[in-house]
A and B are shown apart, each in its own frame.
Chain A
Amino acid sequence: MAPTRDRRPGFSRRAQYSLFLTYILAIAGAVVGAVLLALSTFNPPAFAALRATVREVTTPVSSGISAVFGVVSGVPDAIGSYFHVRTENEALRAEVKRTRAALTQAQIIVRDNRRLRGLLKLRDGDAAPVVTARIVSSSASSTRRYGVLNAGSWQGVREGQPVRGPDGLLGRIVETGPNTARVLLLTDPDSIVPVRRIGDGMPALAAGRGDGMVDIRSVDTGDAKLRPGDRFVTSGTGGIYAPGVLVARVVRAGSDTAPAQPYARPDTFDFALVSAAFVPPPPPARPQPPKTRR
């Protein structure tokens, strides 16, 4: 039967009014949504408590599934390694023999370095690790790049602390709940990390692109040639990120701006190390001007 043009649900006044009311409620809900959207656009951390509440419930589920997944996916690996263990053992023994000399050399250099730094009275702002956790899920259906960490304020995680994986920097904490935290990943379009190039120390900014890469933007005034393979580490400028953590490797040549591939991949189920926010050492005190006589 073809639908009638008349959209009234019958002759009942009650049915007509209740249908009308549902539309009013829907429009009211959309208006509330628009207000919430405006609030959260101008003040992103708003409603963090609401999100944290939901996260507290969902994160244990993610952690549980992740653990099961890890065990199951580890089985083929374990079988493979059982058969390769002998050849691997021989290779490793040979490698130890080869690198022993280099190791001794490195130990001497480390000792020298420590002694010289002591002479220079350099203070190393070594950020203390807060907790080791895992990133258990991410905003996979959104254009934003957030991860959920299964450790929160009860473990000492605070907003603004940097998170690094075994390969390099992952991002920083933006919201914390009692047992969970939200991580703004390095590749999020809103993330900016001050970096410098390994080798010549050229300062730059690593800004997230949203497509799994970061843009390296030079902040030097002179022309900066970025070549494929240039590696960048955090510079520690402005605090938060402790210096010397690997960030990204340039993939295409560019002047001033070039896309780079981050070292840390959030899609590997690996550990994430949260460190205390880096506070740069204060600038040396200026010499007091000599007191003027009256």
Chain B
Amino acid sequence: MSAESRKPFEATLPAGRARAIPWLTVMAGSLVTVAPFGATLGLLPPCGLLMLLAWRLLAPLALRRWVPPLLGLFDDLVSGQPLGSAMVLWTLTFFLVDLFDQRTMFRDFWQDWLIAAAAIAMCLAGGRIVATPLTAHVDAVLVIQIVVSILVFPLAARIVAWIDRKRAVE
């Protein structure tokens, strides 16, 4: 995929930088919460998680399997969730995608989207359970946030595909 989109004799990215780019994009996604608007409701999609899922589904070898705890730690530090929640949930997400990898022969983008939808719902619901007391009235907002996040996933996939095309094959 990446070999075709590059010009014939264009230099490839050094391996270190090609490895670092997926990390940086996921961290940039986590940092969207730094955007200066005070939200009354938590409707912003978890952009770090969307980028991570897009990398996992579109370029499975771009991120190693031990990466999600570290990226999750960074996300927890900026997202306002209790520290450790994304570390656990993102790792579980990777294992969930591994399960699907074993069972599916060929995958279209629609199946990828469906898997991403399941993973997003699992992460957001899990994050809500560990962060907020069960009596809080946040469930309606949470459902809207899950729907918005699922709808935004193709955009994250587009961004990741575009970056991955620029990235060197190893």
Interface residues of A (CB under 8 A from B): 2-3, 7, 22-23, 25-30, 32-41, 44, 46-47, 50-51, 54, 58, 61-63, 65-66, 69, 135-147, 187, 189-190, 208-213, 265-269
Contact = CB atoms under 8 A, between A and B. Distances in A.
Contacts of B102: 7
Contacts of A50: 77, 83
Given A3-B105, A33-B73, A189-B136, A141 B87 contact: no
Given A3-B105, A22-B64, A209-B136, A141 B44 contact: yes
B33 A37 contact: no
B8 interface: no
B40 A266 contact: yes
A268 B132 CA distance: 25
B24 interface: no
B150 to A, nearest CB: 14
27 contacts: A2-B106, A25-B65, A26-B68, A26-B91, A29-B87, A34-B87, A36-B73, A41-B130, A50-B77, A62-B34, A137-B33, A137-B34, A138-B33, A139-B42, A142-B42, A143-B42, A144-B42, A144-B80, A147-B38, A189-B133, A189-B135, A189-B138, A210-B138, A266-B38, A266-B40, A268-B38, A269-B36
Interface residues on B, range: 35 or more
Contacts of A144: 42, 80-81, 131-132
B41 A189 contact: no
Contacts of A33: 69, 72-73, 84-88, 91
B36 A69 contact: yes
Given A30-B91, A210-B138, A137 B36 contact: yes
Enumerate the 10 nearest inter-chain pairs by beta-carbon distance, A residue then B residue, closest first: A33-B87, A29-B69, A139-B80, A37-B84, A36-B84, A66-B36, A25-B66, A189-B136, A140-B39, A140-B44
A174 B65 CA distance: 35
Contacts of A35: 84
B83 A37 contact: yes
A34 B38 CA distance: 29
Contacts of A208: 136
Contact of A65 (B35, B73, B80, B95): B35
B169 interface: no
B79 interface: yes
B82 A141 contact: no
Nearest to B129: A143
Interface in B87-105: 87-88, 91-92, 94-95, 101-102, 105
A22 B80 contact: no
Interface of B: 31-47, 64-66, 68-70, 72-74, 77-88, 91-92, 94-95, 101-102, 105-106, 127-128, 130-133, 135-138, 140-142, 145
B132 A143 contact: yes
Nearest to A266: B38
Given A30-B88, A210-B136, 16 more contacts: A3-B105, A30-B91, A33-B85, A33-B88, A39-B84, A40-B83, A62-B34, A137-B37, A139-B33, A139-B79, A142-B81, A143-B141, A143-B142, A187-B40, A208-B136, A267-B37
Contacts of B86: 33
A143 B77 contact: no
A63 B131 contact: no
Contacts of A32: 69, 84, 87
Contacts of B43: 140
B84 A34 contact: yes
B83 to A, nearest CB: 5
A4 to B, nearest CB: 11
Contacts of A187: 40
A143 B87 contact: no
Q: Which has the most chain B C-beta neighbours within 10 Å: A3, A44, A61, A141? A: A141
